[in-house]
Amino acid sequence: MAATLFAEPPSATLSEAIQHFMAAERMKPEGWKENRLFIAKCHIGLREYSEAISWLDKADSIPLAPSHYREGIKDRISQEEIHGLITKYQGYRV
């Protein structure tokens, strides 16, 4: 689909993605689960597992938004993935 809209599909590296997610993090210093989850997943993709588990812990520490808000539904979906990844990568804690 992207090839239809563009001459070639847009590309970015995981490092570039981290930079963008970190810029979003600076805009909302208290953070949000989904952004921190994506930062962690980028670090996992780069095999930087200790850094990933640190971001997973930060994401896990954010309270869930009330479930009647759209953010609450997204938080719960992210939280399930966060817990799964924490279980998988907990051996990389520093």
Would residue 6 count as lying in a domain?
A: no
Tens digit of pLDDT for each residue in 37-69?
999 999 999 999 999 999 999 999 999 988 777
Instruction: Say how many domains are in the chain.
Output: 1
Whether 79 is in a domain gets the answer yes
**Domain of 21: which CATH number?**
1.25.40
Residue 5 lies in a domain: no
Would you say residue 34 lies in a domain? Answer: yes
Average pLDDT, the chain: 90
* Residue 7 located in a structural domain: no
Task: Enumerate long-range contacts of 74-78, CB under 8 Å, 24 or more apart.
Answer: 74/33, 74/34, 75/32, 75/33, 75/34, 78/33, 78/34, 78/37
Give the domain extent around 21: 14-92
Question: Taking 90 as the threshold, does the pLDDT of residue 12 lie above it?
Answer: no
Residue 75 lies in a domain: yes
Kindly report the number of other CB atoms within 10 A of residue 70's CB atom.
9
What region, left, alpha or beta, does residue 31 occupy, with left being phi > 0 and alpha being psi -120 to 50 degrees? left
